[in-house]
Amino acid sequence: SITKERTEVILQGTSSLDPKDPAAVWEEYDFKCKPGDLKRRPCFITPYHYRLDWLMWFAAFQTYEQNEWIIHLAGKLLAQEEETLSLLATNPFEGREPP
- C-beta atoms surrounding 34 within 10 Å: 21
How confident is the model over 68-98, as pLDDT tens digits? Answer: 999 999 999 999 999 999 999 999 999 999 8
Which pLDDT value is given to residue 34? 83
Which pLDDT value is given to residue 43? 79
Range 28-43 average pLDDT: 83
The secondary structure element, H or E, covering residue 30 is strand 30-31
Which pLDDT value is given to residue 69? 94
- Would you say how long the chain is, in residues? 99
* DSSP strand pairing (30-31 vs 88-90): antiparallel
Question: pLDDT band at 1, cuts 50/70/90?
Answer: low
pTM to 2 decimals?
Answer: 0.81
The residues spanned by each domain of the chain are: 12-90
